[in-house]
Structure 1
Amino acid sequence: MDIFKELLKRIIIFDGAMGTQLQERGLKTGECPEYMNISHPDVIFDIHKSYINAGADVIETNTFGANRVKLAKYGLENETAKIIGESVRIAKKAAQEKSVALSIGPTGKLLKPYGDMAFEEAYEVFKEVVIAGEQAGADIVLIETMSDMLEAKAAILAAKENTKMKVICTMTFQEDGRTLMGSDPVTVVVSLQGLGLDAIGVNCSTGPDKMVNIVEKMSTVSRIPIIAQPNAGMPAIKDGKTVYDLMPDAFASYFPELIKKGASIVGGCCGTTPEYIRLVKSVVQDFKPNMIVNKFTAVSSNTKTIFIGGDNPLRVIGERINPTGKKSLSTALKEGDMSLAVDEAVRQQKSNADILDVNVGVPGIDEENIMVKAVSEIQNAVDIPLQIDSTNIKAIEKAVRILRGRPIINSVSAKEKSLRKVLPIVKKYGTCVIGLTVGDNGLPKNRKERLENARKIIETAKEYGIPKEDILIDCVVLTLSSEQEAAQETLEAIKLVKSELGVNTVIGLSNVSFGLPERKLINSAFLAMAASYGLDSVIINPCDDTMMNTLRASMALMNKDKGCINYLNIYGGNTPVKNSSSKKYIKNEEHDKLLYNHILEGKKAGIKNIVEDILAEGAEPLKIVDNIIIPALKDVGGKYEKGVYFLPQLLSSAEVVQEAFKIIKERLPKGTVSKGRIILATVEGDVHDIGKDIVKVLLENYGYDVIDLGKDVKGEVILEEVKRSNVSLVGLSALMTTTLFNMEKIIKLLKQNANVKVMAGGAVLTEEYALKIGADYYGKSAQDAVRIADSFFSER
């Protein structure tokens, strides 16, 4: 059955939970769930068949953790293909004419720069899984419960590049409406759907009531079907078993609203059983899919989406990360030093750039690898989208491949060779692209030629399946001093491109004034004129006060700054405010401020020299920690709690502190830096340790000595370490609902046999539940763990 054809007529039903069903049928704590495909195929078959009998259209294989990274925990990494093959065979036998989806969960590792797994390593892990799944006969790839868009991207590309199966991806969101890595629902869809997905959505996360809002947000930007697979509410322990607070009828009652908000594929996740799916089927069987293909132009970073055109203000694309005419930047890039590029990125973001152009084109440079390095480090420092600027197609592809979010490619021209080289990359990675109105005959002579070149770009892009909403047409600004009439031709072309082709526009503006005195006068006047002709985005220096002042005034005059709110925020004091970063970035400020700002902005480059300079000036090592590092980390934590920063920024700042501590510790007697010792462990039966690893990084960089016992740790092992190390605070983590009972047992064991306090956390845990099972503290986030530790050790 082709479910995507069926979607034209009705709602498609996926099955429910696998883990809780396995537990009910004898899966023991610490056993590998996926190995039951081999050891107990009859059990797996019965579970699948029960969902088919309940009305499911799609059966998910028992392969959520069947990748070599997770299977290595059980010594089964070499059995990956066999386990997957058996799982698909069982599912197909149970499904008969219904579809089989190959379930693929995360590796459990953080990707670089926040963890130690490289993008291509994750890609290879997922490649093994999808190839084995297709060979066994799976119909669909279901990439599910993803927290990091980059890991999801690795899995999607592995499926698209190595199989012909349909691909669906679902992310999981926290209570704040964002993924663990800080991505919101709109940004997830904008970033991932263009990679060739057949459906996108949300699973796990919450019960169906709170999932409605997530689906509604996704539906505002989705161009493909949306899938929703909620949990059966919140977990709790009853009679020694994990149960959920939503009964099947209450669970099913929310699905009409989920469908009205945009879901056309539905199913269940943690805690749902065949009875849940049967009732969902009965509730939604008369509904028709409500799929709207949204038309918009947008780009994104990991945590932010920027919309271009329409009623949105004119968007600023910062041009400063470009080595042309910048000797120091050229030299740094040649040496592989990204610090100046990162500084420039931070400066431009502070000056209110919406998007950053990244160009590393220095003659003789290894542009492919330097571009990848630059993109990675810049994205680690700022949270706005990027524009990849290069004539090297390999450098462009490598950069957009490892980028978190949706970039712009700068650029493709109307030349046949350029179109055939660049557009396949745009299509494959679902990016936006600048269409430069330069044709095979060279620079355009007039507005008509610009219009025809734009038309050629749009029509050729359509052949590749690229909608015109993903194209920004550049009507080419020529030099006023040599071709005075060309400026007006560009302006008229902008108007024509928008009215006749219905596409958004962009220009690189500074060339218009080349060779003339007082260039800012020409540039700012031309910007105001271009805005009035309908320009949607502009590539300029955002640190130029004159240009930004002109832009803000233009937006107010054109009613694109509603209520003049932005204008008033900037100029409400009646005195024009200069961009805060228009001067050289804190170059002349004292070293302690420099260190503070590096921590705040997550900038590792140069941190060793800064700390050594502070020490050389006579500062006491511990005072550096107390007076600079800890206050800076608290500032970072405050921004995280307010939703200004997200997990990537927390981890970036922690890495900076880690580098600073390396130097400081060399000047101290051993052990004097530690503020206290803490044991961390993921409880028995749970092989996920992302959350625990993040807590470890933050605690260590706040000055705590962490004893990390790893994942799937028995209570007896933890107790033994508590006694051996004389530790008084233990942190326990659980990501799976099926291991919450083990957390309760471990807490009870520790309390009965040692004088120890326990803080508990994990995606499936609530504060009420944590305290109920005996934990002394509940850590909702890694930052909470630091606060708990600070409070605990200060009281002692």
Structure 2
Amino acid sequence: MKLIERLGKEWLFFDGGTGTILQERGLAAGELPETWNLTHPEEIVALHGGYLQAGCDIINTNTFGANALKYPDQLQAVVEAAVAHAKAARRQSGREDAYIALDIGPTGRLLQPLGDLPFEQAVELFGEVVRIGAAAGADLVLIETMSDSYELKAAVLAAKENCDLPVLATVIFDEKGKLLTGGTVDSTVALLEGLRVDALGVNCGLGPEQMLPIIQRLTEVSSLPVIVNPNAGLPRSENGRTVFDIDADSFADWMARIAEMGVQVLGGCCGTTPAHIRQMIARCRQKPFLPPVPKERSVVSSFSQTVEIGGRPIIIGERINPTGKSKFKAALRENNIEYILSEGMMQEDSGADVLDVNVGLPEIDEPQMMAQVVTRLQSVIALPLQIDTSNTAAMERGMRLYNGKPMINSVSGKRESMEAVFPLVRKYGGVVVGLTLDENGIPDTAEERVRIAEKIYRTAAAYGIDKKDVVIDALAMTISSDSRSAQVTLETLRRIRDELGGHTILGVSNISFGLPQREIINAHFFTMAMQNGLSCAIINPNAEGMMRAYRAFLALTGQDAQCSGYIAAYGSQNTPAAPLPADAVMPLGESIERGLRERAEQAARERLHSTPPLELVNTELIPALDRVGKGFEQGTVFLPQLLMSAEAAKAAFEVVKDAMRGVPQQQKGKMILATVKGDIHDIGKNIVKVLLENYGYQVLDLGKDVPPEVIVETALREDVPLVGLSALMTTTVVSMEQTIRLLREKKPDTKVVVGGAVLTQEYADSIGADCYARDAMATVHYADEIFA
């Protein structure tokens, strides 16, 4: 029976750890596990055989780190051998009913614009592995241990575009339920459901106990089968070996509890063995199976935030649109992206929930501009975006590069429109706006608009798009030309809500076109529309009259608990402070906090006319970075924003350095950063490097896969007092311990700070590290202590 016929209908069980077992069988510190597919085939077959005999249904190929970055010459041989060994184990064990998962892990690189790996290159890297593995006979694709939702999307697209196998995806959350780049359970589920994976879940990083709150939320929001593959507790080092603190009996106890939470697929990750899996299966198979329950949630998301449609009305900011805006048109023609970013930030500050993005001008390359604006916006603003265009090439480019589940504006009831747009929504995911017009134009009656809405729903369903992912635009037409138009629109809103149970959207300000004092009409119509069931309003959130109407409506209808939003806006002043215009000169500190590189450069140059360079650094640049760092630690600022702020600060520093040419410059200190031997994942190290350099440290970056001897020799030669070591994989943490041991022997006065997804405080202590840095800012703080 095919996996897809069983998934979500009965218990299915994955295997357990790979790298940790291979270490027990002789995998050396820093040795790449995938090479054993070629050098130790009997061990790989035995590994799979042990799990199959334990009773698991799905075994993962030994390809977690296999990609062209790590294996530029041997990739095909490594992947084909991995699948062949899994097939051999299945045959030898008599388990022909078991499935072989092509295991795909992260590249270890951060995608642009935060890192240096282009999105499409990431898609191709993953796609190459998928093509080889599918041709070799894998039964499904498992994308696992992803900590960046953007890389996750690249991997899913690669799988979908290069094979027709089921695609399952699991990510690695920290104890706060966040991905490395800030994603949450809700935003991750929205993304993966939009991309139409077949099951989703969590693996690695944590033990089953630590995963409980994450699993609870997964089962609350996911309509898909949920996978849970924890580590065998938390790691520690014993006699140079990485061990985990939960034995097979305890693991089975925890997994039995998890089985009762509404998950459908269970397995293990680092530290788990066939004994863990055998006892887990024995305990969990007895539990009543609970199939996934469809969640009727209309959700859009960014990399870190979700907005649910159907509760309070959602505000969609309309200002990123050239219609009637000469300055915005000029910004598009001049490729002034920072002006566009500022428009977005103003709307975010004013209370927008979603930002509409329309960059269409006849004289520009709209697909290229859409790609550029979407990519830059999502790196500095956490709000979800609405991709607004009639150009299907621009629409697809924006949807493909979007890090989340966007709104799509729009599709109409015309057949050619639905045939062009619905396949894109089906492929990339999104909540699409359905315009109540068709080949006959815009109907004059609510009855005809509702009929078109029904046609849009039916056609969407034929493409596999749920009604919850369609929001109907009842169309606000100006009352200056038809005095009945507002009443028709309001009736359409009511009937879509009451008769069809659907969600609605309006471009509210269209109602007043051609009239004087338009905001008077707009604000009152906005209130009437909300009373009649409006779900989403495309408005200018900087228009205080509109926001007054909105806040008052929420307070009066009980959607603003204790009137807290209303009081926050108006309790201490008559009106909220007006935001800075998008073309205003932004202060240096705010430019850095916002991550606006060009504006930070401009502000630094202007401030240098009146402020000495060192004073500017100490009174504005460093305090701005400190504020961003504090927000990151508190969870109000996410990694993309942290990195963009660091880049803006770096640009300002360069301006200051130019002004200080010939003046002796003082640095806080010099330190080494390296990803340890055997590990090519340098995301964490590169993030730390950017921040340390902005805080005035000279960083000797030795790169990735660095042997202990090289690190120690550099520390001796440069007389470095602090070394930072990074590792992502359990199999390479032993290299970290070897490096620390050699440093203690050769240069005992050097301190060592360690970090990485597989580390804990206890583990860091056990391998002799001086400091465990949970995140990048913790490394900066420790460096400040050492060099104080």
TM-score (norm 2): 0.97
Matched residue, 1:242: 242
Q: What CA deviation, in whole Å up to 9, does each residue of 1:522-566 have, x standing for no partner?
A: 111101111111111100000011100101111122222233232
Q: CA 1:8–1:677 in structure 2 vs 1: closer, same or farther (change >3 Å)?
A: closer
Which residues of 2 match residues 333-412 of structure 1 at below 5 A? 333-412=332-411
Range with greater deviation from structure 2 (27-36 or 367-376): 27-36
Instruction: Give the whole-Å Cα distance in 1 for the aligned partners of 2:577 and 2:253.
Output: 52
Out of 744, 753, 777, the position equivalent to 1:783 is 777
Out of 740, 762, 768, the position equivalent to 1:774 is 768
Instruction: Give the whole-Å Cα distance in 1 for the aligned partners of 2:616 and 2:401.
Output: 36
Instruction: Give the whole-Å Cα distance in 1 for the aligned partners of 2:527 and 2:257.
Output: 46
Q: CA deviation at 1:398?
A: 0.5
Whether the 8 Å CA contact 1:100–1:140 is kept in 2: the answer is yes
Which residues of 2 match residues 182-201 of structure 1 at below 5 A? 182-201=182-201
Whether the 8 Å CA contact 1:351–1:579 is kept in 2: the answer is no
Instruction: Give the whole-Å Cα distance in 2 for the aligned partners of 1:329 and 1:260.
Output: 54
Instruction: Give the whole-Å Cα distance in 2 for the aligned partners of 1:359 and 1:308.
Output: 21
Instruction: Give the whole-Å Cα distance in 1 for the aligned partners of 2:23 and 2:567.
Output: 60
Q: CA 1:314–1:323 in structure 2 vs 1: closer, same or farther (change >3 Å)?
A: same
Range with greater deviation from structure 2 (671-680 or 134-143): 671-680
Whether the 8 Å CA contact 1:622–1:673 is kept in 2: the answer is no
Q: In the alignment, residue 464 of structure 1 is paired with which amino acid?
A: Y
Q: Which secondary structure does the structure 2 equivalent of 1:444 belong to?
A: coil
Matched residue, 1:85: 80
Q: What CA deviation, in whole Å up to 9, does each residue of 1:710-750 have, x standing for no partner?
A: 12222221121112112111111222222333322322221
Q: Which secondary structure does the structure 1 equivalent of 2:404 belong to?
A: coil
Q: CA deviation at 1:223?
A: 1.9
Q: CA deviation at 1:619?
A: 2.5
Which residues of 2 match residues 311-330 of structure 1 at below 5 A? 312-330=311-329
Q: CA 1:515–1:673 in structure 2 vs 1: closer, same or farther (change >3 Å)?
A: farther
Matched residue, 1:74: none
Q: Which secondary structure does the structure 2 equivalent of 1:134 belong to?
A: helix
Is 1:646 aligned to residue 641 of structure 2? no
Q: CA deviation at 1:670?
A: 7.5
Q: CA 1:671–1:144 in structure 2 vs 1: closer, same or farther (change >3 Å)?
A: farther
Q: In the alignment, residue 758 of structure 1 is paired with which amino acid?
A: V
Q: CA deviation at 1:457?
A: 0.6
Whether the 8 Å CA contact 2:412–2:437 is kept in 1: the answer is yes
Q: Which secondary structure does the structure 1 equivalent of 2:103 belong to?
A: strand
Q: In the alignment, residue 655 of structure 1 is paired with which amino acid?
A: E
Matched residue, 2:89: 94
Following superposition, which runs of at least 4 residues in structure 1 exceed 3 angstroms of deviation?
Answer: none
Is 1:760 aligned to residue 754 of structure 2? yes
Q: In the alignment, residue 164 of structure 1 is paired with which amino acid?
A: D
Q: CA deviation at 1:233?
A: 0.5
Q: Which secondary structure does the structure 1 equivalent of 2:193 belong to?
A: helix
Whether the 8 Å CA contact 1:543–1:579 is kept in 2: the answer is no
- Identity rate, percent: 46
Q: CA deviation at 1:764?
A: 1.6
Q: CA deviation at 1:785?
A: 0.7
Matched residue, 1:12: 12
Whether the 8 Å CA contact 2:225–2:291 is kept in 1: the answer is no
Instruction: Give the whole-Å Cα distance in 2 for the aligned partners of 1:86 and 1:296.
Output: 43
Matched residue, 1:164: 164
Whether the 8 Å CA contact 2:339–2:583 is kept in 1: the answer is no
Is 1:723 aligned to residue 716 of structure 2? yes
Q: CA deviation at 1:208?
A: 0.6
Which residues of 2 match residues 286-297 of structure 1 at below 5 A? 286-287=286-287, 288-297=289-298
Which residues of 2 match residues 68-83 of structure 1 at below 5 A? 68-71=68-71, 77-83=72-78
Q: CA deviation at 1:586?
A: 8.6
TM-score (norm 1): 0.96
Matched residue, 1:301: 302
Whether the 8 Å CA contact 1:596–1:628 is kept in 2: the answer is yes
Q: CA deviation at 1:254?
A: 1.4
Q: CA deviation at 1:95?
A: 2.0
Is 1:637 aligned to residue 629 of structure 2? yes
Q: Which secondary structure does the structure 1 equivalent of 2:144 belong to?
A: strand
Instruction: Give the whole-Å Cα distance in 2 for the aligned partners of 1:463 and 1:301.
Output: 27
Whether the 8 Å CA contact 1:350–1:580 is kept in 2: the answer is no
Range with greater deviation from structure 2 (208-217 or 531-540): 208-217
Whether the 8 Å CA contact 1:10–1:285 is kept in 2: the answer is no
Matched residue, 2:575: 577
Is 1:624 aligned to residue 616 of structure 2? yes
Instruction: Give the whole-Å Cα distance in 2 for the aligned partners of 1:546 and 1:658.
Output: 40
Instruction: Give the whole-Å Cα distance in 1 for the aligned partners of 2:587 and 2:90.
Output: 62
Q: CA 1:314–1:64 in structure 2 vs 1: closer, same or farther (change >3 Å)?
A: same
Is 1:427 aligned to residue 448 of structure 2? no
Q: Which secondary structure does the structure 1 equivalent of 2:782 belong to?
A: helix
Range with greater deviation from structure 2 (219-228 or 481-490): 219-228
Range with greater deviation from structure 2 (769-778 or 459-468): 769-778
Q: What CA deviation, in whole Å up to 9, does each residue of 1:161-210 have, x standing for no partner?
A: 11111000111011221000000111100112221200011110210112
Q: In the alignment, residue 707 of structure 2 is paired with which amino acid?
A: K
Structure 2 gaps, min length 5: none
Instruction: Give the whole-Å Cα distance in 2 for the aligned partners of 1:79 and 1:671.
Output: 50
Q: Which secondary structure does the structure 2 equivalent of 1:410 belong to?
A: strand
Instruction: Give the whole-Å Cα distance in 2 for the aligned partners of 1:236 and 1:773.
Output: 8
Q: CA 1:446–1:605 in structure 2 vs 1: closer, same or farther (change >3 Å)?
A: farther
The structure showing larger relative contact order (alpha-carbon pairs under 8 Å, at least 6 residues apart) is 2
Whether the 8 Å CA contact 1:438–1:450 is kept in 2: the answer is yes
Alpha carbon RMSD of aligned pairs, Å? 1.5
Whether the 8 Å CA contact 1:224–1:293 is kept in 2: the answer is yes
Matched residue, 1:538: 537
Q: CA deviation at 1:585?
A: 5.2
Instruction: Give the whole-Å Cα distance in 1 for the aligned partners of 2:666 and 2:302.
Output: 36
Q: Which secondary structure does the structure 2 equivalent of 1:220 belong to?
A: helix
Whether the 8 Å CA contact 2:9–2:291 is kept in 1: the answer is no
Range with greater deviation from structure 2 (707-716 or 82-91): 707-716
Q: In the alignment, residue 504 of structure 1 is paired with which amino acid?
A: H
Q: CA deviation at 1:26?
A: 1.6
Is 1:152 aligned to residue 173 of structure 2? no
Instruction: Give the whole-Å Cα distance in 2 for the aligned partners of 1:25 and 1:355.
Output: 52
Q: In the alignment, residue 658 of structure 1 is paired with which amino acid?
A: K
Q: CA deviation at 1:257?
A: 2.7
Instruction: Give the whole-Å Cα distance in 2 for the aligned partners of 1:118 and 1:675.
Output: 33
Range with greater deviation from structure 2 (749-758 or 534-543): 749-758
Whether the 8 Å CA contact 2:238–2:766 is kept in 1: the answer is no
Whether the 8 Å CA contact 1:747–1:758 is kept in 2: the answer is yes
Matched residue, 2:504: 505
Which residues of 2 match residues 664-683 of structure 1 at below 5 A? 664-668=656-660, 669=662, 672-683=665-676
Q: What CA deviation, in whole Å up to 9, does each residue of 1:91-127 have, x standing for no partner?
A: 0121241100000001000001110000000011011
Whether the 8 Å CA contact 1:545–1:579 is kept in 2: the answer is no
Instruction: Give the whole-Å Cα distance in 1 for the aligned partners of 2:679 and 2:158.
Output: 26
Instruction: Give the whole-Å Cα distance in 1 for the aligned partners of 2:507 and 2:757.
Output: 46
Provide the aligned length of Structure 1 versus Structure 2. 780
Q: CA deviation at 1:570?
A: 2.2
Q: In the alignment, residue 701 of structure 1 is paired with which amino acid?
A: N
Range with greater deviation from structure 2 (365-374 or 662-671): 662-671
Is 1:206 aligned to residue 209 of structure 2? no
Structure 1 gaps, min length 5: 72-76
Q: In the alignment, residue 300 of structure 2 is paired with which amino acid?
A: V
Whether the 8 Å CA contact 2:592–2:600 is kept in 1: the answer is no
Q: Which secondary structure does the structure 2 equivalent of 1:237 belong to?
A: strand
Q: CA deviation at 1:315?
A: 0.5
Q: CA deviation at 1:496?
A: 0.4
Q: Which secondary structure does the structure 2 equivalent of 1:502 belong to?
A: coil
Q: CA 1:673–1:416 in structure 2 vs 1: closer, same or farther (change >3 Å)?
A: farther
Q: In the alignment, residue 296 of structure 1 is paired with which amino acid?
A: R
Instruction: Give the whole-Å Cα distance in 2 for the aligned partners of 1:564 and 1:129.
Output: 54
Instruction: Give the whole-Å Cα distance in 1 for the aligned partners of 2:331 and 2:605.
Output: 21
Range with greater deviation from structure 2 (236-245 or 57-66): 236-245
Instruction: Give the whole-Å Cα distance in 2 for the aligned partners of 1:256 and 1:487.
Output: 58
Instruction: Give the whole-Å Cα distance in 1 for the aligned partners of 2:316 and 2:108.
Output: 36
Matched residue, 2:605: 612
